[in-house]
Amino acid sequence: MKIFATILLIIFNSGIIHSSNEFDFTTESSQVKNITYSIIKDNEEKCYGYCFNIVQPVLEHTVHIQVKDKQIQEQAITLKEYEKQIADLKMKVAIFEEAIKNKDQQILLCDKSKNESLEKSTIIAAKDELLSNLNEKIMEYKIKLGNCLATSCINKLTDIYEIKVPGIDAFSVPCDSRLAGAGWTVIQRRMDGSVDFNRNWTDYREGFGDLRGEFFIGLDKLHLITKSQTHELYIYLKDFNDKERYARYDHFYIGNEDEFYKIKSIGSYSGDAGDDLKNHKDSKFSTSDRDNDDDLDIVDKASNPVGGFTIVIGVI
């Protein structure tokens, strides 16, 4: 449009120059010159007004086009910026999509782990319930077993057996069927001096030694055994010359620790070893570290034996 406007202006100027060349101002008179100049000027003004009316819209349109060109250039720059922003946003979207994909995978793994944990928790809960039921059954069977366990050595051969008496858990005792018939519970045995019987109060309360060798059953157990049912006491003695003797009492019972395991009953005596125990009826038990002002010489006799001896008790 700029080129077109320039051509019009050139044509317009050329027309004026051509008209001017038709007159020779140097040869005509001044009047003719004035008339001619007036005519030319008038024509020029008319031509100028006519041409301006034609050219003005073109010029205005040219300016408008220039403005639009500038706007287009600015919009092109803006468009490039938008395209760059769009590219950046697409890249961010791709990154976000990848992150979402990773999160989805993590969620799937977490859900899988959660499901596995729930399954394991269910299995553990089931096992715990089963274990609890088994423990209840075990306790039930223990109670039944305790009820079924023998309370003495009656009908037992010579061996180690478990018995159960009220007030204490089941415990092992040696049973003897050779000294005085079947069914005796051995509470003390002294044979070869392999065990020291000079013990303190606690040892005698709890018991000590080897059930198959030298031992003492323990005063707590002896109290509960003799309390549970009526027992008789049988003391078997054998000296270094292999001479055998015995003492038998038909109702033997001792008290508890609060009573210092006092011999509360011995019953009637029979045998050939002598009725030494009658002198200790109602005596309290004493040890080297606890003297209860009585003379129950179990410790002294056990520490200085004249030979082997075994003490057994049996249910009447």
Quickly list H helices, the chain: 2-21, 30-148, 201-206, 219-228, 298-303
Structurally, at CATH architecture level, domain 159-315 sits in Alpha-Beta Complex (3.90)
- Which residues, 6 or more positions from 235, have their beta carbon under 8 angstroms from its beta carbon? 246, 247, 248, 271, 273, 277, 309, 310, 311, 312
User: SS3 of 300, please?
Assistant: helix
Provide the pLDDT for residue 5.
Answer: 41
Mean pLDDT over 123-132 rounds to 90
* Residues above pLDDT 90, as percent of the chain: 35
Residue-wise pLDDT for 76-90, tens only, equals: 888 888 888 899 888
Residue-wise pLDDT for 39-59, tens only, equals: 766 666 666 666 667 766 777
Number of neighbours of residue 232 by Cβ within 10 angstroms:
20
Q: Nearest to residue 189, comparing CAs of 211, 205, 162?
A: 211
Mean pLDDT over 243-261 rounds to 94
Distance CA 179, CA 245 (A): 11
Provide the pLDDT for residue 75.
Answer: 87
Provide the pLDDT for residue 189.
Answer: 94
Sign of CA pseudo-dihedral 220, 224, 227, 232 = negative
Provide the pLDDT for residue 149.
Answer: 74
Of residues 240 and 49, the one with the higher pLDDT is: 240
Provide the pLDDT for residue 12.
Answer: 41
Mean pLDDT over 249-253 rounds to 95
Mean pLDDT over 118-145 rounds to 83
Cβ-based burial of 133 (10 A; exposed 0-12, middle 13-18, buried ≥19): exposed
DSSP code for 149:
S
- pLDDT of 227 strictly over 50: yes
Most confident region among 119-123, 224-228, 311-315 by mean pLDDT? 224-228
Backbone angles phi, psi at 175, to 5 degrees: -105, 145
Contact 285, 275 (CB under 8 A): no
pLDDT band for position 114 (50/70/90)? confident
Q: Whole-prediction pTM value?
A: 0.54
**Cβ-defined contacts of 46-50 (< 8 Å, 24+):** 47/12, 47/15, 47/16
175-187 in b/e burial notation, b at 16+ Cβ within 10 A? bbeeebeebbbbb
**For residue 111, what are its two tokens?**
């859900």
Residue-wise pLDDT for 180-197, tens only, equals: 988 999 999 998 889 999
Beta strands in 147-230 (DSSP E): 159-163, 171-176, 184-190, 208-209, 215-216
Contact 189, 305 (CB under 8 A): no
Residue-wise pLDDT for 203-223, tens only, equals: 999 999 999 999 999 999 999
* Residues above pLDDT 70, as percent of the chain: 76
- pLDDT of 264 strictly over 90: yes
Provide the pLDDT for residue 24.
Answer: 47
